[in-house]
Amino acid sequence: MKIYGDFSSGNCLKVKWVCDTLALPYAWVGVDTLKRETRTTQFLKLNSAGQVPTVEFDDGRVLAESNAIIRYLARGSDLIPADAFAAAKMDEWLFWEQYSHEPYIAVCRFQMVYLGRPASDLDPDKIKRGYAALARMEHQLALTRFLVGDTLSLADVSLLAYTRLAHEGGFHLDGYAAVRRWIGEAERSLGLTPGALKSGTETIMTAISTSIRRARRGDVDAIVRMLADDPLGSGRECLADPLPASYFVAFESLDRDPNIQLVVAEDGEGAVVGCLQLCVLPGLSSQGASRGLIEDVRVAAHCRSRGVGEQMVQWAIAQARAKGCKLVELLTHNTRVDAQRFYVRFGFAPSHVGMTLRF
């Protein structure tokens, strides 16, 4: 499945989050709405509404409208309540989001962030209706943990997309304690970096859209180069031409192991811009809980700080959750202070003292 989307669009992120949470494989095709790439003849053939998100399934069928897409992708999953009435309440929120929330909160944000308008220039009616939407959510979320009862559903996915960015549209959430509590819980449930896209337009505009796929033998060279391009790795790796055979022997062994996924992140042109290894370790402790272990996260030097590492780590967290892991662990060298800060943003907390015995 291909997702045509723009990372700056909450509507598109809804689709990404559902796929990541349910571990549905996809290729992300970046479409820059500001460059009007949704209005090209080619794109209009795909979706005559000229909008993203649009998904194209492997059999050629195409589906648009964010809430229709997530509803289709999440069918049969825990993101849609099994009870028919609760599912209808979820739909109630989905329709409401498109008519009474997104046109105010997302549009004000668009005008401020992308058109550079000051808050004072916003349409007062849009602001009023945006706050009315927040008030309605606050009322519900003071009563229930999520929008439909105690469990995360597509209603939360859909409403989270722009509510977490409401401040970028000039909305103050200070008086909306339940909404703020819910944003944190929903972000954690979806494995999102708290406030991932809150740091302003620069982060959003320069983000690289990646698709994450299993590494192939032909990627070994690119992976080893990324491992070596780092103060610790430069002393550990050997970039001889050709590479030492030990790298390929290790790759074959990793590739055969069903509990290990060595993946690469590819940019829109198919270039490998990042890598990560996820191991799922079965164990007896904690009542037989499996745990995920994230290792060897690297991003190509020219692509750092552009969201690649974040997309890979979110993918790994979602995979570990989908495979039934009860926790995810990683080791980061105690000298890598920036890396530690990066992982804390996903909710990782320093918990162990790592010990190493080298042979």
Ligand X SMILES: N[C@@H](CCC(=O)N[C@@H](CS)C(=O)NCC(=O)O)C(=O)O
The residues binding ligand X (CB under 6 A) are 9, 11, 33, 38-39, 50-53, 65-67, 98
Closest CB 64 distance from ligand X, rounded Å: 6
Closest CB 7 distance from ligand X, rounded Å: 11
Report the candidate in 29, 31, 43 with the shortest Cα–Cα distance to residue 1: 29
How many H helices and E strands in the chain? 15, 9
Q: Closer CB to ligand X, residue 156 or residue 237?
A: 156
Phi, psi of 9 (to 5 degrees): -100, 120
Closest CB 53 distance from ligand X, rounded Å: 6
Q: Closer CB to ligand X, residue 33 or residue 332?
A: 33
Instruction: Note whether 207 and 310 are within 8 A (CB).
Output: no
Closest CB 263 distance from ligand X, rounded Å: 28
What's the rounded Cα separation, in Å, for the pair 71 and 67? Answer: 6
Q: Closer CB to ligand X, residue 114 or residue 248?
A: 114
Q: Closer CB to ligand X, residue 50 or residue 233?
A: 50
Closest CB 170 distance from ligand X, rounded Å: 18
Closest CB 140 distance from ligand X, rounded Å: 21
Q: Closer CB to ligand X, residue 53 or residue 191?
A: 53
Q: Closer CB to ligand X, residue 51 or residue 140?
A: 51
Q: Is 274 exposed, middle or buried (0-12, 13-18, 19+ CB in 10 A)?
A: buried
How many beta carbons lie within 10 A of that of residue 161, not counting itself? 24
What's the rounded Cα separation, in Å, for the pair 316 and 261? Answer: 9
Q: Is 335 exposed, middle or buried (0-12, 13-18, 19+ CB in 10 A)?
A: exposed
Phi, psi of 327 (to 5 degrees): -160, 165
